Amino acid sequence: MRPVDLTTAFAGITLRNPVLTCSGTYGFGEEYADYCPLEALGGITLKGITPLPRLGNSVPRLVETPAGLLNSVGLENPGLEEFLFSYLPKIRKMPTAVIANISGFSLEDYVQMASALQVDSGLAALEVNISCPNVKHGGMHFGTDPQSAEEVIAAVKTATDLPIIAKLSPNVTDIVGMARAVQRGGADALSLINTLLGMRIDIEQQRPLLANTVGGLSGPAIRPIAVRMVWQVAEAVDLPIIGMGGITTWQDAVEFILAGATAVSIGTGNFVNPQAPLEVLQGIDVYCEKHGITSVRNLVGLAHKA
Amino acid sequence: MLTDGLVVVHEGLGEEKLGLRRLVLKGPIAKTAQAGQFVAVQVQDSSIPSFDPLLRRPISLAEISPDQEEITLLYRIQGRGTEILARARCGERLSLLGPLGKGFSLPKIGELWLIAGGIGIFPLYALAQSALAQGLIVRLFWGGENQSFLKSAGLPAWQALGIPIHLSTLDGTLGDKGLVTEQVQVRLSQLFRQTKQADSSSPGQISVATCGPKKMMQAVTELCMNFSVPVQVSLEERMGCAVGACLGCVCTLIDEAGTLSHRKVCQDGPVFRGEEVVWDASC
């Protein structure tokens, strides 16, 4: 029997397999290299960067919830200049597809970063974070208002020749409307979903547990919401989707692909099991073979056709 | 590395109501681990895999035995994660990430003072063992709630090392009544007076390693800085990935020029030089 074809391609991005890692959970690619070989991954998405360096929020930045994790890191990052100077040279040599993630506080911020990151930077694509819940105006405004979302994506699209992936916030009433807006703006693909806004309170101290009061919820707890949003957007919008939100096992990943995701991305799951991406990939392979699927591309959205 | 640890001992430590546990794990981590480093243990009832609790628990290494390929973790049950961990039985395997972080560095010569508050004593035992193996003089200052706590949390094992020990308890049931920092201050002052007479600017060749509540480590650091004694502190913070990827566990440091920066407790620490830590950072 022929081995399952795991390669995938969408929006001008070619991947050796459909398993990626999520921005903010994988540093700049080196942190997990001892635990999960980069060359085995379809690709990685880097920690979000902003034009200027940011120290981020105070600690505590993390608190656990049932099958979930709340975080409010607040976009701590070295800034664009340091990224280009210190990180990009190493990133160019990484044996996997690398997607940079950009965040901003104004249209100009996004354009400045997109202009500095082009195909010849050695990147595979640019993920535009219009959905960070943890900083004031941290893109969240762009991520919850369709017209702003369209404008920011259109501006970024003009500024770079890299494929544009719009990372959408689930903190909206109409995810399909947001997906349509960024499609009009010229997005080449979608990342679905970012974290859900949540909070926890220390009942003894009678205070919020996170220094930032609220944070973004990730992990298995949010998976059904993510699957639902991938499903809804796949029904309505003709753009490739990178599915994410609580994927920790291969079964989770297959669910996203069946819902319409062309690729999947693992975030918080890496913290639980640093080899989760490898196990997910292997599981997808075995699943396809068992179900007589010759290419993982043929699995995408299959649940819609049943 | 991501590896398994075989549970060879898992037992209560001292009085049961204190919820202290001793867990000895066999595996390759012992070969390379150093005092002050930690492991991230997956806390799951292995018979029923679940994602609640989700995250691994960072636990410091209390003893490292490379020849037996064993590490000892001492911990206190204080939440759902450690409650589930406490159910692990001998013969089970626990998923471990480690050894993680940057541990203590040993001075080449002289006297190493270990200053512990409460269960902050745990990682200092491995440090005491390696310091003694290198021929350093080791002295312990340890403060706890009361006699029962100190005895339960490993005092007999410390006494077996044959080193000078200065104890403090809040209720005065063992050692001096009061805070551990009071004893440290008295002794440093004495030494400082002696060496001053000998025309030296600092008590010779003493260095300090401390672990305990944040306020206590801050006080120890201030004391040490007053007496020009180098101090290493082992910080604690809520961790996500434990490998430096998620930026969940940062601390704030200040350099000589007064510039503030963040470091990851999991990767750049948990051990830092006391004087570089900003204890009341608001960013």
Position A134 scores a pLDDT of 54
- Give the ipTM: 0.92
Position A143 scores a pLDDT of 82
- What's the one-letter identity of residue B164? P
Note whether A197 and A65 are within 8 A (CB).
no
Which sequence spans correspond to the domains of chain B? 2-100, 111-234, 237-283
Question: B88: closest CA among B1, B3, B16, B21?
Answer: B21
According to CATH, the topology of domain B111-234 is: Rossmann fold (3.40.50)
Query: Does B250 sit within 8 Å of A56, measured CB to CB?
Result: yes
Position B195 scores a pLDDT of 67
Position B197 scores a pLDDT of 55
Instruction: Say what angle helices A223-236 and A175-185 make with each other, to 10 degrees.
Output: 50
Q: Give the Å distances, CA to CA, from A197 to A38, A141, A299, B63.
A: 31, 14, 31, 41
Burial string for A178-191 (b: 16+ CB within 10 Å, else e) reads bbbbbbebebbbbb
Does A22 participate in catalysis according to the annotation?
A: no
Question: B131: closest CA among B140, B143, B144, B141?
Answer: B140
Tokens found for residue A28:
């700049």
Q: What are phi and psi of A78, to 5 degrees?
A: -75, -5
CATH of the domain at A233: 3.20.20.70
Question: B215: closest CA among B78, B120, B128?
Answer: B120
Residues 6+ apart with CB under 8 A from B108: none
Q: What percent of chain B has pLDDT over 90?
A: 89
Strand order in the sheet with A62-65: A62-65, A68-71, A215-218, A196-198
Q: What is the mean pLDDT of chain B?
A: 93
Query: Does A56 sit within 8 Å of B238, measured CB to CB?
Result: no
Tokens found for residue B187:
């002794």
Which among B55, B238, B241 has the least Cβ separation from residue A60?
A: B238
CA B272 to CA B266: how far, in whole Å? 11
Task: Please name the residue of chain B whose CA is at the shortest distance from the CA of residue A220.
Answer: B51
CA B34 to CA B130: how far, in whole Å? 9
Tell whether A75 is covered by a domain: yes
Burial string for B180-192 (b: 16+ CB within 10 Å, else e) reads bbebbbebbeebb
A48 vs B: CB within 8 A: no
Q: How far is A195 from chain B (nearest CA, A)?
A: 14
The one catalytic residue among A22, A36, A132, A288: A132
Query: Does A270 sit within 8 Å of B241, measured CB to CB?
Result: yes
Position B176 scores a pLDDT of 95
A223 vs B: CB within 8 A: no
What are the tens digits of pLDDT across the range B7-38? 999 999 999 999 999 999 999 999 999 999 99
Structural domain span for residue A279 = 8-305
Q: Which CATH class is domain B237-283?
A: mainly beta
Please tell me if the domain spanning B2-100 has the same topology as the one spanning B111-234: no
Number of structural domains in chain A: 1
**Pairing mode, strands B137-144 and B165-169:** parallel
What are the tens digits of pLDDT across the range B96-115? 999 999 999 999 889 999 99
CA A119 to CA B10: how far, in whole Å? 55
Residue B199 has pLDDT above 60, yes or no: no
What are the tens digits of pLDDT across the range A181-215? 999 999 999 999 999 999 999 999 999 999 999 99
Indicate the pLDDT class of residue B65, thresholds 50, 70 and 90. very high
Note whether B33 and B9 are within 8 A (CB).
no
Which among B244, B252, B262 has the least Cβ separation from residue A31?
A: B244
Q: What are phi and psi of B137, to 5 degrees?
A: -85, 130
Low-confidence ranges of chain A (pLDDT < 70): 1, 132-141, 306
Note whether B50 and B116 are within 8 A (CB).
no
B window 90-129, beta carbon within 8 A of A: 95, 97
Tokens 């025309």 — which residue?
Answer: B199
Residue B193 has pLDDT above 90, yes or no: no
What are the tens digits of pLDDT across the range B167-182? 999 999 999 999 999 9
Position A2 scores a pLDDT of 75
CATH number, domain B2-100, options 3.40.50.740, 2.40.30.10, 3.30.565.10, 2.60.120.860: 2.40.30.10
